Chains A and B, each alone.
Chain A
Amino acid sequence: MRNLITAARAIGIACAMSGGSVPVLAADISGAGATFPYPIYSKWADTYKKETGNGLNYQSIGSGGGIKQIQAKTVTFGATDMPLKAAQLEKDGLIQWPMVIGGNVPVVNIDGIKPGELVLDGPTIAKIYLGEIKTWDDAAIKALNPAAKLPSQAIVVVRRSDGSGTTFIWTDYLSKVSADWKSKVGANTAVEWPVGIGAKGNEGVANNVGQTKGSIGYVEFAYAKQNKMSHTRVINQAGKTVEPSMASFQAAAASAKWDAATGFGEILTDQAGDATWPIAGATFILMPKKPTDPAAATVALKFFAWAYEKGDKTASDLDYVPMPDAVVELVKKEWTKVTGADGKPVM
């Protein structure tokens, strides 16, 4: 019913506009980038719109896209899971800060394998993604899962086709645990994949793994959870088998330094600690120091302040780890670098 009224009001506005008078609408701001945090950003945006009337149109086109669009200034802010280096930020006149921490999890679609049942380690995942391990009943996988019933099915590798921060976290991890991977493929938002079908966004990988029997893919944990996919456990640097969870993602960030001078560019893969999830990462927002539309920048910053303040509950519901309060204070200080035409901070 309320939606009907909203619609009626919107149509009323449309008529008013066509009649010549242009009423001031609530400001909508646009952002684009990482698909990794899309579940949480879209939830936040939905709640924020209901509370304040200000909309935040976030398009999940991949971290590569977020970086490109903010460089071209076609959006108010960009989002990426691959932190830009300080020199690059300086060159493009951007500031960067982390919003939440999440975990990359391998997901599989094998008949009879339940969520959390399968165990994998870094080198085995690297071999699967290099195309060296081809079937699910390969000795390397069997050795890690003596009890599981693994079919002699071919492994269908699913990976990203777009520039992706999730891919950066994934390939960065594989580079750290496999020398072969490091020399043959390397780590970046997009790489030359030896095998597999390419899917667009975390959404696309989850979709393809869900559709394809015998497949393996990697997605942000929220996607696996929302769609009840079979994630695997992974053996971390300390040799312990860990479940993906808020606690294990948090453990990965335990020794992070969060330095504003480097744009908070911490990489959280393959960290020490018994409880640490090895494929974790923070997701970042990029904003120009001299925005073309300072008013929109103000609205955006207000949204992020609101998200830090009121969004923790929503974040933890989706197993994202909110940033510690001390880091939020540093970030807010960083925001004063965003200035309008008069040189004064927009917020």
Chain B
Amino acid sequence: MATPSFDTSGFRARRNRSRIAMALCLAATLIGLTCLAFVLGTLLVKGLSGLSLRVFTEMTPPPGSDGGLLNAIAGSLIMTILAVALGAPIGILAGTYMAEYGRHDRLTNVIRFINDILLSAPSIVIGLFVYTVVVAPMRHFSGFAGAIGLAIIVIPVVIRTTEDMLRLVPDQLREAAASVGMPRAIMIRHIAYKAARAGMITGVLLAVARISGETAPLLFTALNSQFWSLDLNAPMASLPAVIFQFALSPYADWQRLAWTGALLITITVLALSILARTLGQKGQST
């Protein structure tokens, strides 16, 4: 009976080693996803328990009273909008320079490197910077200073996406425009921007998502406020700052509001990122 006999023990050992390694990878996935699901689950349970209409109609309360988060939501909206209004145009223009005019400059390479540093600079350092150049000379904390802090975070995100998206625009389009005598500025604004629009909007949305949860740059710029205030020259409440204050307090109703605020921010950020992704995919497929 001469069945060909292979020595299969070596193969079996290798197969087993592979199976163990893959099982470990599966375990890692399960551990990771469980942790993250646990964080989101707690957030959902604790946040939903405090969610009611009052959250959107009443001001942040003093300890021991009922209230909502209206002034914080408004403050966050105002500072976010202002930050985007300040930061996005600068980011788009700078990104345009890098992708269109200075594509082969050494300057572009330098700026890209600097921009990457700004992109991941610790946000608390940006808070320090805004305190020294805006708050200290103006002699008071203000919503405006908070918006500047956030704008500095918006700029690098928008630059990055704008440059990347404009580079995806085929050069044939640019050449076609040049061949009919179209000036470059008009070509950029009417052809390149149009082709890259979805991607550029994605970048701005991502920037909004990024700043809507930022706390560190607001702590010593916008400070906080317990009242309704639209005065950009005065301290202004924001959701992250209120969450920070309320979560670290001993008061049960403040802690509940902190969880609700955290849930609101998370929902906003997730919604913005999903919107940005769908837009981004649409932009790439066309």
Chain A residues packing against B (C-beta within 8 Å): 3-4, 6-7, 10, 13-14, 17, 25, 28, 30, 32, 38-39, 42-43, 45-46, 49, 55, 57-59, 72-75, 199-201, 203-204, 206-207, 210, 223, 226-227, 229, 292
Contact = CB atoms under 8 A, between A and B. Distances in A.
Contacts of B245: 203
Contacts of A28: 225, 227, 229, 231, 234
A59 B223 contact: yes
Contacts of B250: 203, 206-207, 210, 223, 226-227, 229
A55 B234 CA distance: 12
B248 A207 contact: yes
B235 A13 contact: no
Contact of A57 (B58, B225, B251): B225
A7 B57 contact: yes
B262 to A, nearest CB: 16
A226 B58 contact: no
Nearest to A6: B228
A9 to B, nearest CB: 10
B193 interface: no
B227 A55 contact: yes
23 contacts: A3-B59, A10-B228, A28-B227, A30-B234, A42-B62, A42-B63, A42-B226, A43-B62, A57-B226, A57-B227, A57-B229, A59-B235, A74-B135, A74-B141, A200-B248, A201-B248, A203-B248, A203-B250, A204-B248, A207-B248, A210-B250, A223-B250, A227-B251
B139 interface: yes
B109 to A, nearest CB: 41
Nearest to A44: B62
Contacts of A226: 63-64, 250-251
A204 B231 CA distance: 29
A4 B228 CA distance: 13
Nearest to B252: A227
A6 B224 CA distance: 20
A73 to B, nearest CB: 5
A238 B248 CA distance: 37
B45 interface: no
A156 B233 CA distance: 43
A39 B57 contact: no
A264 to B, nearest CB: 26
Interface string B215-250: 000000001111111110011000000000100111
Interface string B59-92: 1011111000010000000000000000000000
B140 A75 contact: yes
Given A4-B57, A46-B62, A59 B248 contact: no
B65 A57 contact: no
Contacts of B249: 203-204, 206-207
A25 B227 CA distance: 13
A144 B64 CA distance: 34
Contacts of B224: 59
Nearest to A29: B234
Given A6-B228, A227-B251, 14 more contacts: A3-B57, A28-B229, A30-B140, A30-B235, A32-B223, A39-B62, A57-B226, A57-B235, A72-B136, A72-B139, A206-B249, A206-B250, A207-B248, A223-B250
Interface of B: 54, 57-59, 61-65, 70, 135-136, 139-141, 223-231, 234-235, 245, 248-252
Nearest to B78: A14
Nearest to A293: B140
Contacts of A206: 249-250
Contacts of B229: 28, 55, 57
A234 B249 CA distance: 25
B143 to A, nearest CB: 12
Contacts of B223: 32, 59
Contacts of B225: 28, 30, 57, 59
A101 to B, nearest CB: 20
Contacts of B235: 30, 57, 59
Nearest to A204: B248
A210 B255 CA distance: 13
Contacts of A43: 62, 64
Contacts of B230: 10, 13-14, 17
B281 to A, nearest CB: 35
A45 B228 contact: no
A74 B226 contact: no
Contacts of A3: 54, 57-59
A197 B65 CA distance: 29
A10 B63 CA distance: 23
A207 B244 CA distance: 13
B24 to A, nearest CB: 35
Nearest to B71: A10
A94 to B, nearest CB: 15
Contacts of B251: 203, 226-227
A207 B65 CA distance: 18
B85 to A, nearest CB: 13
Nearest to A13: B230
B95 to A, nearest CB: 29
